[in-house]
């Protein structure tokens, strides 16, 4: 029950209702004693609620929100609908030219707290709070401080999908985000705007856009942050022909970012090259002292590998040895082609062919390549759902869990969670019925008479089994490769789709990405070729869209991901092929 709903002093009648719901009744002589316990608890809660709030000083160091302004760009300035708000934020203190991101522009997914800039999580006005259209954070998420300290300029927040619960790009409150390669087609979700904006700059540098002028795309960025709870970095990257990394779970702090469910939450880089992806990860990664997703394996900031430097060193070693060539660049790498990833529902034969051709290039580059089987991969969606769905609505809509971890997180200050009502239901049913379905699923699955907690406990044990299965495969191989998505980017959803059809559509492209959200393995999506658009529309005849390959490595081994991807590109960039 939120603070906007009834409070009132606890009564014996309240306790009787609670007891009845749990299948027991109080004896009359017990009632006053139990009521005194609850009243004492209520007194403490209301006392603390009246106290002045506290913000950790480390989160507001050098922060001057008064210097920050923003606008909502016009449609002419935002032709892809990829921008949520435009701004220009630099570090308040002078940054010398040694910062890793000096001179780079960055877009921030609109589920990250950027002080002074509205945060919408892609949903309609007044859905996140009642007193203003969208909350305006007073402090920056740790990743924002790190980006600014590295010398970057944050030029805006990027459109994301409604409550970040869609792997397609048509659910945002502001309308669909178009794929920059072909208007009317999905940019992927939920980090839709982030991937589209990075692709804009990549396309302008290449001067290519399916034969069209790139000037119609508007302004893009060099780098963007993404969030990934089932593929929301990797799928947009694959559809838009850029690079997107879901890091190892707990490597990049998620503090101050809208959560879907803690075990699923990942923040990571979207960029236009392997090296930029590695550089951006070097800036983002490392322990922040607040995020309960982090573990003893998470490196302290001072110990974060400089992924871009390490990649350069590995390449330099191979250059010196004469092996960084189109015949030997991948020598020594053991590449596993994940068999079950080619057996997922809806896999387009042409996409499968592009990925198999890309995997075969590793052989030509000197790697050891073989097929590997992980049968649990095909049932991972069931494990994912059983382990998480009962509590997603509480986290996503009501903020539950931000202060209940076994460790001590820092819940960002903000308005009380919004209480859904009929208008909310009607809006969300039209925009993204998966969000409403989340409430129904969560409430139904939490009925302990039907599904005791032991059911979810078993599902979590199956997550451990799934992780172990991938770990075993990664003992025999350095990386696993597979299609990132079953198809190239499809058209946006048909407005005539029913609730069930629309809900299925927004998640149908996650079958090869979501398993690694629950197991925590890092996954990199990179462009490796093109697929033809075959939708019967004469005006799109001959048009092509990018095909993305996903590379997965051991947890905490992003270095090998970057090396494998860079070695593959010695044979040519994926978008160079026609």
Asked if 568 and 326 count as a contact pair (C-beta separation under 8 A), the reply is no
The answer on 366 and 510 residing in a single domain is yes
**Does 392 have pLDDT greater than 80?**
yes
Mean pLDDT of 151-157: 97
Which is more confident, 391 or 175? 175
Q: Kindly state whether residue 59 falls inside one of the protein's structural domains.
A: no
Residue for token digits 């049968």? Answer: 375
Range of the domain at 17: 1-45
How many CA atoms are closer than 13 Å to the CA of 244, on its beta-carbon side? Answer: 38
Active site residues: 109, 190, 232
Query: What do you get for the CA distance between the two ends of the chain, in Å?
Result: 57
Query: What pLDDT digit, counting tens, does each position of 37-56 carry?
Result: 999 999 998 998 899 988 88
Q: What is the pLDDT of residue 462?
A: 96
Q: What is the pLDDT of residue 409?
A: 72
Q: Kindly state whether residue 56 falls inside one of the protein's structural domains.
A: no
CATH, residue 215: 3.90.1300.10
Confidence of residue 1 (pLDDT cuts 50, 70, 90): very low
The answer on 283 and 154 residing in a single domain is yes
Q: What is the pLDDT of residue 126?
A: 92
Q: What is the mean pLDDT of the chain?
A: 92
- Cα 218 to Cα 97, 359, 495, distances in angstroms: 28, 35, 26
Query: What pLDDT digit, counting tens, does each position of 206-260 carry?
Result: 766 555 567 789 999 999 999 999 999 999 999 999 999 999 999 999 999 999 9
Q: What is the DSSP letter of 130?
A: S
The answer on 144 and 39 residing in a single domain is no
Q: Kindly state whether residue 71 falls inside one of the protein's structural domains.
A: no
Asked if 134 and 59 count as a contact pair (C-beta separation under 8 A), the reply is no
**Does 2 have pLDDT greater than 60?**
no
Q: Kindly state whether residue 398 falls inside one of the protein's structural domains.
A: yes
The whole-model pTM stands at 0.94
Mean pLDDT of 295-304: 97
Q: Kindly state whether residue 68 falls inside one of the protein's structural domains.
A: no
Query: What pLDDT digit, counting tens, does each position of 91-123 carry?
Result: 876 556 679 999 999 999 999 999 999 999 999
The percent of residues in the chain predicted with pLDDT above 70, rounded, is 95
* Domain count within the chain: 2
Q: What is the pLDDT of residue 405?
A: 61
Q: What is the pLDDT of residue 4?
A: 39
**Does 578 have pLDDT greater than 70?**
no
Question: CA dihedral in degrees (534, 197, 138, 282; nearest 10)?
Answer: 110
Two structure tokens written together for 122: 């892609």
**Does 385 have pLDDT greater than 60?**
yes
């Amino acid at each position: 029950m939120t603070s906007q709903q009834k409070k009132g002093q606890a009564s014996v009648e309240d306790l009787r209702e609670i007891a009845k719901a749990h299948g027991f009744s109080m004896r009359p002589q017990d009632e006053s004693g139990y009521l005194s316990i609850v009243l004492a608890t209520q007194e403490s809660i209301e006392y603390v609620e009246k106290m002045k709030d506290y913000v950790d000083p480390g989160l507001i160091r050098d922060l001057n929100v008064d210097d920050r302004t923003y606008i909502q760009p016009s449609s002419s300035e935002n032709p892809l609908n990829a921008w949520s708000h435009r701004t220009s934020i630099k570090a308040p203190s002078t940054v010398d030219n040694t910062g890793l991101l000096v001179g780079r522009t960055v877009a921030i997914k609109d589920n990250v707290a950027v002080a002074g800039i509205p945060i919408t999580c892609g949903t309609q006005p007044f859905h996140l709070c009642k007193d203003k259209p969208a909350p305006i954070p007073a402090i920056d998420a740790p990743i924002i401080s790190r980006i600014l300290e590295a010398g970057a300029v944050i030029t805006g927040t990027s459109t994301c999908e409604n409550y970040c619960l869609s792997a397609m790009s048509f659910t945002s409150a502001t309308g669909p985000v178009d794929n920059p390669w072909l208007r009317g087609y999905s940019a992927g979700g939920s980090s839709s705007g982030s991937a589209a904006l990075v692709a804009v700059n990549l396309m302008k540098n290449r001067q290519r856009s399916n034969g069209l002028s790139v000037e119609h795309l508007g302004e893009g960025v060099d780098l963007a942050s993404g969030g990934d709870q089932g593929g929301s970095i990797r799928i947009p990257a694959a559809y838009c022909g850029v690079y997107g990394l879901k890091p190892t779970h707990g490597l990049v702090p998620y503090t101050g970012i809208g959560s879907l469910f803690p075990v699923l939450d990942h923040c990571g880089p979207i960029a236009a090259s392997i090296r930029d992806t590695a550089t951006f990860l070097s800036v983002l990664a490392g322990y922040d002292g607040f995020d309960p997703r982090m573990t003893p394996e998470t490196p302290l900031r001072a110990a974060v590998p400089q992924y871009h430097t390490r990649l350069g060193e590995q390449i330099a070693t191979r250059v010196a040895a004469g092996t960084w060539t189109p015949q030997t660049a991948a020598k020594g790498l053991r590449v596993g082609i994940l068999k079950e990833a080619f057996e997922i529902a809806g896999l387009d034969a042409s996409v499968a062919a592009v990925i198999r051709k890309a995997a075969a290039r590793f052989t030509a580059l000197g790697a050891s390549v073989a097929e590997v089987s992980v049968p649990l991969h095909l049932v991972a969606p069931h494990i994912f759902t059983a382990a998480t769905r009962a509590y997603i609505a509480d986290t996503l809509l009501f903020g539950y869990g931000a202060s209940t971890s076994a460790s001590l997180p820092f819940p960002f200050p903000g308005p009380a969670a919004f209480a859904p009502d009929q208008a909310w239901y009607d809006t969300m049913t039209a925009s993204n019925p998966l969000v409403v379905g989340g409430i129904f699923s969560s409430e139904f699955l939490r009925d302990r008479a039907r599904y005791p907690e032991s059911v979810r406990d078993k599902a979590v044990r199956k997550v451990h089994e799934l992780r172990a299965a991938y770990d075993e495969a990664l003992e025999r191989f350095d990386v696993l490769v597979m299609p990132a998505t079953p198809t190239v980017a499809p058209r946006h959803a048909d407005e005539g789709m029913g609730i069930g059809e629309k809900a299925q559509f927004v998640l149908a492209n996650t079958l090869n990405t979501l398993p690694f959200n629950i197991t925590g393995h890092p996954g990199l999506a990179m462009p490796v070729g093109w697929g033809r658009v075959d939708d019967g529309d004469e005006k799109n005849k001959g048009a092509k869209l990018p095909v993305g390959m996903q590379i997965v490595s051991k947890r905490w081994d992003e270095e090998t991901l970057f090396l494998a991807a860079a070695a593959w590109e010695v044979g040519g960039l994926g978008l160079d092929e026609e």
